[in-house]
Structure 1
């Protein structure tokens, strides 16, 4: 999740996967906070019960596995693990659409045959006269060639099916909005196991 929402690490996706600058709910930042809190709680509860054995039966049984307690803990934790996976899927669905749009837009620019149009979209391009400018221009031309030789970008078939299933319940977030309903729906979708059929 961190890589998807962090503009310093997500290879050009918008910060917190929201395009509008006037965002008041901070896009997918809260989804990341929620997932981080759940993962922290899961890690805390993962302490094995067997390491805190209490002798029983008048010390005749000095090592007791506490296996029943551990099984109960793990069963309780599976629901929260499902919520973490749901939040990851929700975030990935948003990122996938942004990435798909970006790649197809780059492909359209490359099809024009003007490498400068593509180069202008690179935010940290070296300026004219900089020693690395020639290498940058060569890389842009190579990228343009590769983009014109490839077809329109599509995810794999299982990912497309899962993405379509998610979009039946939750719309792409064009503008910032409260996400409590979206989070509830994606958690219900994961708990229903409906996505498993799409992935097989």
Structure 2
């Protein structure tokens, strides 16, 4: 199928994921700028309020074209960068250490990383929406309490999906085991 042995491609993919994880932690400002762009897109998709991400920053401005413009700065504590970086580093280590589960590891990581990003976009959307409706009180309540609950639940779902995909039997494994016993 390929001239490159699986060992080399596993190591290469592991190294790339490890570097991506470290980069997510090290270049958080750049990551947050892209996260702000995504969040502005989500707000525009789900809300009649126009939002834009300010170039060169991690700020989402909402209410464009109205007299009620608000800015939301995505700080390192509000970003999914740390969680994404952590999952990338763990995935890199598992790829190198657990040879027989390469596809499951990569599929689990793809699902977990997607869930983490979506969870944070939902959390940011809830905070922005509550702030637009209830002002500072809406920001404080959703940012401190509801946002934390959303993040924790999202992290548990992502980690659960990751572990489930890593630990489940590969398709055809029970049949191979029965055939081996006979």
TM-score, normalising length from structure 2?
A: 0.31
**Relative contact order, higher structure (CA 8 A, sep 6+):** 1
The structure whose Rg is larger is 1
Larger strand percent: 2
Larger helix percent: 2
